[in-house]
Structure 1
Amino acid sequence: MKEKLQQGERVLGCSFNEARDPGSVYALAAAGADTVFFDFEHNAHNTETVLDLVAHAHGAGIAPLVRPPSVEYEWITRLLDGGCQSLLIPHLRTPAEVHNLIELSFYHPLGRRGVVMVGGAGVNYQEVTDVRHAMRWANQQTLLGLVIETAEAVENLPDMLVPGIGLAVVGHQDLAHSFGVAGEPNHHLVVDAEHQVAALCRQRGIAFGAFRSDPVAIHAAFDQGAQLIVHGGILAYIRRCVREAAELVKGDGPDTPHPIA
Structure 2
Amino acid sequence: MNAPENRFKSRLLAGEVLHGLWMTLASPVAAEALSLLGHDWLMFDTEHTPLDVAGVQPLLQAAAAGRAATVVRPAWNDPVLIKRVLDMGAQTLLVPFVQTPEEARAAVAATRYPPEGVRGVAGLTRASRFGLTTDYFRVANREVCVLVQIETGAALARLEEIAAVEGVDGVFLGPSDLAASLGHLGQPGHADVQAALEDAARRILAAGKAPGILATAAVDARRYLGWGYRFVAAGVDLALLLKGAQRLHEEVTAEN
TM-score exceeds 0.5: yes
What is residue 28 of structure 2 aligned with on the other side? Answer: 22
Partner of 2:238: 235
Q: Letter of the 1:239 partner, please give it.
A: L
Residue 32 of structure 1, CA deviation = 1.2
Superposition deviation, residue 75 in structure 1: 0.3
Q: Does residue 62 of structure 2 align to residue 56 of structure 1?
A: yes
Higher gyration radius (CA): 1
Most deviating of 108-117 and 21-30: 108-117
Contact 2:38 2:68 in 1 (8 A): no
Please name the residue that 1:194 is paired with: 197
In 2: Cα distance, 1:46 partner to 1:68 partner: 9
Deviation at 1:26, TM superposition (A): 1.9
Deviation at 1:83, TM superposition (A): 0.7
Q: Distance in 2 between matches of 1:216 and 1:97?
A: 33
> Would you say the 8 A contact 1:35–1:62 is kept in 2?
yes
Q: What letter matches 1:141 in structure 2?
A: E
Shift of 1:128: 4.5
* CA–CA separation in structure 2 for the residues paired with 1:136 and 1:194: 38
Relative to structure 1, is the Cα distance of residues 181 and 249 closer, same or farther in structure 2, using a 3 angstrom cutoff?
A: closer
Question: Structure 1 residue runs of 4+, over 6 Å off?
Answer: none
Q: Residue 214 in 1 paired to residue 198 in 2?
A: no
Aligned equivalent of 1:123: 128
- Asked if the contact 1:8/1:227 (under 8 Å) is kept, the reply is yes
Alpha-carbon spacing, 1:97–1:26, altered in 2? closer, same or farther (3 Å)? same
Whether contact under 8 Å (1:117, 1:128) holds in the other structure is no
TM-score scaled by length of structure 1:
0.87
The aligned residue for residue 44 of structure 1 is 50
Contact 1:25 1:60 in 2 (8 A): no
* Matching residue of 1:99: 105
Are 2:14 and 1:7 aligned? yes
Q: 2:51 and 2:138 mapped to 1: Cα distance? A: 31
Query: What's the offset of the Cα at 1:85?
Result: 1.2
| C-alpha distance in structure 2 between counterparts of 1:234 and 1:173, whole Å | 17
Q: Is the 8 A contact 1:150 1:178 kept in 2?
A: yes
Q: Distance in 2 between matches of 1:63 and 1:211?
A: 16
SS of 1:147 mapped into structure 2: strand
Distance 2:16 2:207 in 1: 16
Give the conservation status (yes or no) of the 8 Å contact 1:168–1:209: yes
In 2: Cα distance, 1:187 partner to 1:234 partner:
24
Please show how residues 137-148 of structure 1 align to structure 2 within 5 Å: 137-148=139-150
- Shift in Å, 1:109: 4.6
Identical counterparts, % of pairs: 29
Single out whichever of 207-216 and 54-63 deviates more from structure 2.
54-63
Task: State how far apart, in whole Å, the 2-side matches of 1:79 and 1:139 are.
Answer: 14
Counterparts of 2:179 and 2:27 in 1: how far apart (Å)?
33
- CA deviations 1:170-210 (Å, max 9, x no partner) are 11111121122222223344223323321232123322112
Which shows bigger deviation, 58-67 or 151-160?
A: 58-67
Q: 1:181 to 1:53 in 2, by over 3 A?
A: same
RMSD of Structure 2 on Structure 1 (CA): 1.9
**In 2: Cα distance, 1:79 partner to 1:196 partner:** 32
Aligned residues of 2:98 and 2:155 also touching (Cα < 8 A): yes
Secondary structure in 2 matching 1:230: strand
2:85 equivalent in structure 1: 79
User: In the TM superposition, what whole-angstrom CA distance separates every residue of 1:19-78 from its partner, at most 9, and x where no partner exists?
Assistant: 233121121122112221111011112211122212222343422211111111210110
Q: How does 1:111-190 map to 2 (within 5 A)?
A: 111-118=117-124, 120-125=125-130, 127-129=132-134, 133-161=135-163, 162-190=165-193
Q: Counterpart of 1:60 in 2: which secondary structure? A: coil
